[in-house]
Amino acid sequence: MLKIRNIIIIIVIAVVAFLAYLYFTKPPAEQTNLITSSATTLPNIDGSVPGAVGGGATSLVAKDFLALLLNVRNIKLDDSILADSAFKGLRDSSITLTQDGTEGRPNPFAQFGNDVPGEPTESLDVPEDDLSDLSDILDLPDLTDNDEDTAEATTHFDDALSITSVTPLTGPVGTVVTIKGFGFSKSGNKVSFKSSPIQNLNSSDGTAIVFTIPSSVTPLGLTQPQAVVQGIYSFFVTNNKGKSTSSWQFTVTPTP
């Protein structure tokens, strides 16, 4: 019984599938009426169909097409609008932008209002008498002092003796070395190089002295000079204030 039932179910499914196939694959009835023959010919200018019996048969489609062409040919453009006062009153309202050469900021990092270019200010010629009066009122130093007094006011002879920089730190014998710092004396400064003092070094403002790397030195306690050969040598500065607060090293290189 089960075998017969299965056969019946399979047959029913096959019939339903076949009917569905016919339903979905059959073309609609409307499309059959749209098929045209490739032998269709266009009508003549008078509406007659070429090859038609009697030559007087007309086509409604051809007549409508010819009527449409005649209507298009009879269309005329009305140019009276160009003579209308409203059209003539139209004006070009476009704006032409011209650069005045001041676009952008000369210094984009400057504070607003401080980078506006302006006319250079003229220097004011103030008499020396007025400057002295102004200094008395403001309790300022005399602005009419000579350069010599100003130079003395900026010296550093009275500072503590110290070394801040040495240029250069390497070189052969004969290299001129500049020592910068504070507290150098006007004269009598000494550079102790390999325990041998290089004496009588002068300073104009107490901030710099200059000496030359010697070819030979006589260290303290010895009587025979010793040649300065390639190597590293420590040195420091002394004067009437004592010894500099730091020692530096100079590297002697071979003579080129």
**What's the pLDDT tens digit per position in 113-161?**
665 555 555 555 656 655 555 555 555 555 455 555 544 557 888 888 9
Is 215 inside a domain boundary? yes
Its pTM stands at 0.41
Determine contact, residues 165/180, Cβ cutoff 8 Å.
yes
* 205-208 LR contacts (CB < 8 Å, sep 24+): 205/151, 205/154, 205/155, 205/156, 205/157, 206/155, 206/156, 206/157, 206/158, 206/159, 206/182, 207/156, 207/180, 207/181, 207/182, 208/178, 208/179, 208/180, 208/181, 208/184
How high is the pLDDT of residue 32? 47
Is 92 within a domain?
A: no
Task: Report the number of distinct structural domains present in the chain.
Answer: 1
**The domain that contains 222 carries what CATH number?**
2.60.40.1220
Q: Which residues pair with 236 in a beta bridge?
A: 192
Q: Determine the pLDDT at residue 131.
A: 54
pLDDT of residue 62: 82
- What residues contact residue 255 under an 8 Å CB cut-off, 6+ apart? 172, 173, 174
Whether the CB-CB separation of 180 and 159 falls below 8 Å is answered with no
In the prediction, which pLDDT does 27 show? 63
The answer to whether residue 196 sits within a structural domain is yes
pLDDT in tens, the chain (256 residues): 667 888 888 888 988 888 888 887 766 555 444 444 445 555 555 555 555 544 454 568 888 888 888 887 777 777 787 888 888 888 888 888 776 666 667 677 777 766 555 555 555 565 665 555 555 555 555 545 555 554 455 788 888 899 999 999 999 999 999 999 999 999 989 999 887 888 889 999 999 999 999 988 888 777 788 888 999 998 999 999 889 888 889 999 998 8
Q: Is 211 inside a domain boundary? A: yes
Q: What is the pLDDT of residue 72?
A: 79
- pLDDT value of position 128: 60
Q: Considering the domain boundaries, does residue 188 fall inside one?
A: yes
Quick one: pLDDT at residue 38? Answer: 47
Q: Strand 208-212 vs strand 170-171: parallel, antiparallel, or unpaired?
A: unpaired
Tokens 């019996």 belong to: 53
Closest CA to 242 of 170, 198, 155, 184: 184
Residue 217 inside a domain? The answer is: yes
Residue 88, pLDDT score: 82
Asked if the structure places residue 11 within a domain, the reply is: no
Specify whether the CB–CB gap between 220 and 244 falls below 8 A: no
CA dihedral 57, 62, 67, 72 (to 10 degrees): -150
Residue 197 lies in a domain: yes
Tell me the residue range of the domain where 193 lies: 162-252
Q: Specify the pLDDT at position 207.
A: 92
